[in-house]
Amino acid sequence: MPPRIGENFSVGGMISIFNGNNGAAQRRVLVTQVGRELLLGLRGPNYQNFVRTLERARGVIDLEMPVEWNLKRIAKAEGLPVQELTVVVLDRERNNEVIAQIRDVGARIKLISAGDVAAALEAALETRYGIHCMMGSGGATEGVLAACAIKTIGGDMQAKLHFRDDKEREMAVKEGQKPNKVLCLDDLCSGNDIFFAATGITSGELLKGVRYEDVYAFTQSMVLRSASGTMRIVDAYHPIDNLRAKGLLPEQVAVR
């Protein structure tokens, strides 16, 4: 039975990060909560190679297979020619080979400068954003967080740790990780009772950013819950007087 309001809720894992760190990318606060299960702990490696896709293509991807093979399988699951797929990729030099392979197949590419988690959500919510999958290499912590979000809405993901040097590989082995193992969705997020929330700081394609008006501050959040499969977009209006009384306005908060 899922916990009811007022009951104690055992939290197995929680991550809170800022995702998107430059002027071109939206900045968000991202939080996930997993009841009575654990997230994959990654302290050593900073990056993962991955492929993420939406619910209709669940179970058809294989990270060990070539890009062309995966895209053709996703296209078949989608009922589309491969040329009509749109693949989002983080615009980094380490992803140049993946980008070239996608172009050879003829699929469309959307390059992003930052925001791994947002792009993963776009790939899992194809009906809203027109993205069919995400490929390439991105942040390991963001990968675990993205897995939580993808699992709540029925998408699919595979990943493999990407090491920049032998030191990162050795650290992963000490943590009990298997460097060459393909990590499936349940490896990254083993829980079945998952909450995911993201609140926009600056405006972007996924969410609107914080806006201050004369009498209120506006925020927009996305809330996902695995038990019900619901996605909620929450527009909140916070009275300025209340924020001022608590010292929460930007001019009242000391920057450390």
More confident residue, 33 or 220: 220
* CB 157 within 8 Å of CB 146: yes
Give the whole-angstrom CA distance, residue 68 versus residue 56. Answer: 18
Q: In percent, how much of the chain has pLDDT > 70?
A: 79
Q: What is the pLDDT of residue 33?
A: 62
pLDDT single digits (tens) 207-218: 899 999 999 999
> What structural domains does the chain harbor?
14-196 (3.40.190.90)
pLDDT single digits (tens) 132-189: 999 998 888 888 888 888 888 888 999 988 888 888 888 888 888 888 889 898 888 8
Beta strand spans in the chain (E): 11-19, 28-35, 47-53, 86-90, 108-112, 133-139, 156-162, 183-184, 194-200, 211-212, 216-225, 230-239
Give the whole-angstrom CA distance, residue 43 versus residue 15. Answer: 13
Give the whole-angstrom CA distance, residue 218 versus residue 216. Answer: 6
pLDDT single digits (tens) 32-62: 666 544 455 555 556 678 888 878 888 999 9
